[in-house]
Amino acid sequence: MTVAVPAWSDAFASAARGGLAREGPFGLLDRDEVFGGSDGGGVAVAVVDSGVDADHPGVRGRVSRRLRVDLDGEDARVVDDPGAADLVGHGTACAGIIAAIAPAAEIVSIRVLGADNRGKGRAVAAAVDWAIDQGIGVVNLSLSSRSEAMFGVFHELADRAYFANVLLVCAANNVPGPSYPSLFAAVLSVAAHDIPDPNAWFYNPSPPVEFGAFGVDVDVPWRDGGRIRATGNSFAAPHLAAHAARLRSRYPAATPFEIKALLAATATAPR
């Protein structure tokens, strides 16, 4: 069976991966030495999404706080939402991937999507703004905006996060065309590849999308305690968010630039 891969994933397709080969300035670093068995302890990962089912076995009880963004006219407020459920399953899937790879990381759920898996760009912006103010170590954004009106807002937030030592991990859009904030240089952008290995990731020396991670036919937790197989850049991003959390746990003073460099230097050799 042929599975269609999302847009921006072409560089990570099996027939194209030879183009990822390069002589990096550090060579390929030994991954075991770089990560040192880190499990993400002491690092918070914000999942800005449809909510997270904190009781799902696949999330491993790692959700420490649940919030939502309330919109009132032009105002957007991040408020606690302790009794919230995942309205879709999408956020639970992302949290489950993170919990499986970085099992000691703390997950903070910020719900910005409705039951139709859609939301307003300014709700996402408010969630990111809150995460920056809170000093959240890693923010997973398995969503994006195609609105040109939000370009400036997200560009400013991406830069502010970068300089505030908050790493934004952003899935590229699943359809062709620009999307934000995934196409900004300050974020760690991710598209899908089809190798069924959560520890396989590639670095793309010819962005806009810098990294490829497992995102095709991924077994993920879903709403109501279930599981499904899902495909999309949405499910590639949390793989890199989790590995970034492991690095931030091992190197607490590392900047977003340094985390990206370490992920590039430990990327899977193209094959």
pLDDT band at 83 (very low <50, low <70, confident <90, very high): confident
What domain count does the chain have? 1
Distance (Å, rounded) from C-alpha 33 to C-alpha 148?
A: 43
CATH number at residue 234: 3.40.50.200
Range of the domain at 153: 38-265
Nearby residues of 264 by Cβ (< 8 Å), 6 or more positions away: 24, 203, 210, 211
Judge whether 7 lies within some domain.
no
pLDDT reported for residue 1: 43
pTM, two decimal places: 0.95
In a domain, 17, yes or no: no
Is 90 inside any structural domain?
A: yes
Q: 16 lies in a domain? A: no
Q: Concatenated DSSP letters for 54-90?
A: TT-GGGTT-EEEEEEEEEETTEEEEEE-TT---SSSH
Query: Is residue 30 situated within a structural domain?
Result: no
pLDDT in tens, 241-257: 999 999 999 999 999 99
**Residue 187 forms part of a structural domain:** yes
For residue 89, tell me if it sits in a domain: yes
For 14-72, the pLDDT digits (tens) are: 999 999 988 777 778 999 999 999 999 999 999 999 999 999 999 989 999 999 999 99
Residue 3 scores a pLDDT above 70: no
The answer to whether residue 165 is domain-embedded is: yes
| Other beta carbons less than 10 A from residue 76's beta carbon | 19
